[in-house]
Chains A and B, each alone.
Chain A
Amino acid sequence: MRRDSIQRRLIASVLLSQAILTAGLMVIGVVVTYWRLLSTLDVSMQAHATSVAVLVRYTEDASGHVYFDNSLLPESIDPNHPDQFMVWADRTGYLTRSEDWPEGLQFEPGPSQHWNFTWAGVPYHAVRMNHVPILDREEGKAFQPQTLTIVYASPTVRIQQQVKAALASIVLASLLLLGATTWLASWRIRRGLLPLQILARQASLVSTQSWKLQPPREAEDIEELRPLTESMTQMLARLEYSFKQQREFVGNAAHELKTPVAVLKSTLQSLSQRPRSSEEYLAGVQASLQDLDRLEQLLQRMLRLARAEQWAQNAQGRQLDVIDLNSTCEEAVERIRSLAQSRSTSIHLATDGRVPILADPEDLQLVWTNLLENAVRYSPEGSSVEVAVARSGDKARISFQDHGAGISPSDLPRIFDRFYRGDPSRTRATGGFGLGLAIVKALVEAYGGTIAAESAPGKGTRMTVELPVSQP
């Protein structure tokens, strides 16, 4: 796997932009230097061309012819590389050219211009000037004065050397600066990223023993890190909560499992402590079987709860059909009928038209039977339990009203907690584990619903489930 690094990326970006900047500066530097040198050269060449023009003289007669006096040739601009020139007069025509004129090089008179050319491996800059006046003008001569066309070419070897030297120094300086700024940038970046490392170190101190993340001041002061530290703190709080809940559940589950095991073990041990009569053995075996049954029921309930909670987490993964809510309620009432009859409690079911729900009918029946069973068990004999199914908008509301002793206000917020029993002796006598309502809640929430309990001590309890109605 390729490991990426913010630090490396940042340094690379800085480096890249600096490289572009440097390259740009180099180009600009070279162009500007070259251009300035060339324009200086131009000025010199014009001056030299004028010096050449000075050497053009009229002949002594009045013919108006001109000749070139090459006794006073100006020195070349670059002493190591001789300049070349060629002169024409407008009437006389070709007049002269420099002494060491390269063989084969030819210029033509033409319009004024500047150009570059290379001859025999030597680069030249050339200028052609028209209408250069002849300065040797003697008073009183009656002829039309001639003008000159001068081509003056100077080798640009020195300019190229100067440009190269300039380029070399720019490159050297740029590389030095690039190195220094890269080092500075990486140092700054490393320092700038230090809060991340401190934060990581703080985060590594978080454990199941200590959930507190103490975001370092350095990290809190940094705008970009604040969302990270905030979400980390929030995430840790959520994790801590669910971890604590989980641990509580495991603790409770262990307690609930250990008790029936302790009963079973003590029964069998006390049976084996001394020889017993066959009646005693039989009683012991029967008691043990009952305890085993209870243990089995508890395990089933715990598994049911675990499954319901798992579904709640990925409810989308299940293939569900649209079912009628009323029929699941009717089924649940049928299932509880015999228990209700044994306690002479009547159950009234009031429905209001078909309510389509997207759910597994078994799950809903489990929810209704659990709620109904509670309602019937905590109702005084001869009382009634009312179940009402109503639809309001996109919600179905199912309520279970009993007329029992009610739930004390201190117990009410905790009745949906796993293993919570308001009065352990009473529920244990009726075979409860404190898991029924937890399973109900998990299932209801798995279908995107809610459950609420209201209770008036002495008057009864009303459990209200709200489920989303399936939209056709």
Chain B
Amino acid sequence: MRVLVVEDEIRLAENVARSLRESAGYAVDVAADGQEGLFLAESNAYDVMLLDLMLPKLDGMALLARIRQSGQHTPVLVLTARDDKESVIALLNAGADDYLTKPFDLGELLARTKALIRRGKGQPSPVVTIGDLELNTVNRTVQRGGRAITLTAMEYRVLEYLVHRPRAVVSKTELLEHLYDYNWEKFSNVIEVYISGLRRKLNEGSSRQLIRTLRGQGYMLQD
């Protein structure tokens, strides 16, 4: 999953980004002003956006209005210092999905971010099951047929993304887009490495292949 954090208070943005990376294993991009945020939001596919309202150059509400006008469905969590009714109503009506008032708890921020990603993917339960595969997005654990499977961080991220797009063809480009942040060099062959590692671990003691390869198109998770 890939998250965009738009926050001009650099230290706060860094802390949020670090927490999202460490505790949820998300790829995080940080924008320090509204224009940069808009540029990133328009040029990349994010699974959720964390947006501050008081931003230099382009303020949060305007940014929100712009991305909603362009038809983006990315869930938006607004980080605001204002908790008065009027501003909450205004931000929700501008297209925000949720809000958190500063100062917030990083644990709550993580939980809300995860919830927004789930809802954005049409997957309300934090424990996703596909056939006999069970993925717990809260503890970040994976089981197949009751057997716990230990995955590397990157393998988990690939599987988490696929689990949220079940029975859909997911291209390598899409995977790269959602698993790496802006600063990474993107090589499509690393995806193949993770997929083969995943297949090996998931298929231990099971004959049925969960991840199908569609040549030239991508991968599909099926039960």
Q: Which residues of A contact B (CB under 8 A)?
A: 251, 254-256, 258-259, 261-267, 269-270, 273-274, 287, 291, 423-426, 428
Known: A251-B84, A266-B19. A425 touches B56 (CB 8 A): yes
A435 CB to nearest B CB, Å: 15
A396 CB to nearest B CB, Å: 37
Do most interface residues of chain A lie in helix, strand or loop, or is the interface mixed? helix
Extra contacts besides A262-B102, A265-B103, A424-B8 (6): CB < 8 Å: A251-B82, A256-B81, A262-B79, A266-B103, A266-B104, A269-B106
Known: A270-B18, A274-B22, A423-B56. A428 touches B8 (CB 8 A): yes
Q: Is B136 an interface residue (CB 8 A)?
A: no
Chain B residues positioned under 8 Å from A263 (CB to CB): 9, 11-12, 15
- What's the Cα separation between A273 and B22 when bound, in Å? 9
**Chain B, 65-106, CB within 8 A of any chain A CB:** 79, 81-82, 84, 101-106
A interface footprint on B42-82 (CB within 8 Å = 1, 0 otherwise): 00000000000011110000000000000000000001011
Chain B residues positioned under 8 Å from A264 (CB to CB): 103
CB-defined A-B contacts under 8 Å, sample of 5: A262-B104, A265-B104, A273-B19, A424-B55, A425-B56
Chain A residues positioned under 8 Å from B169 (CB to CB): none
B140 CB to nearest A CB, Å: 14
Chain A residues positioned under 8 Å from B104 (CB to CB): 262, 265-266
Known: A269-B19, A270-B19, A425-B33. A259 touches B56 (CB 8 A): no
Q: Is B32 an interface residue (CB 8 A)?
A: yes
- What's the Cα separation between A221 and B3 when bound, in Å? 65
A292 CB to nearest B CB, Å: 12
Do most interface residues of chain B lie in helix, strand or loop, or is the interface mixed? loop
Chain B residues positioned under 8 Å from A424 (CB to CB): 8, 54-56
Q: Is B16 an interface residue (CB 8 A)?
A: yes
Question: Are A254 and B81 in contact, with the CB atoms below 8 A?
Answer: yes
* The residue from A255, A267, A274, A425 contacting B15, defined by CB atoms under 8 A apart: A267
Chain A residues positioned under 8 Å from B107 (CB to CB): 269
- What's the Cα separation between A251 and B9 when bound, in Å? 18
* The residue from A258, A270, A425 contacting B106, defined by CB atoms under 8 A apart: A270
Question: Are B33 and A258 in contact, with the CB atoms below 8 A?
Answer: no
Q: Is B23 an interface residue (CB 8 A)?
A: yes
- What's the Cα separation between A208 and B33 when bound, in Å? 35
What are the 7 A-B residue pairs with the smallest beta carbon separation, nearest first?
A425-B56, A262-B103, A266-B15, A262-B102, A255-B81, A258-B81, A269-B106
* The residue from A255, A256, A291, A425 contacting B32, defined by CB atoms under 8 A apart: A425
Question: Are A259 and B22 in contact, with the CB atoms below 8 A?
Answer: no
Question: Are A287 and B11 in contact, with the CB atoms below 8 A?
Answer: yes
- What's the Cα separation between A147 and B16 when bound, in Å? 140
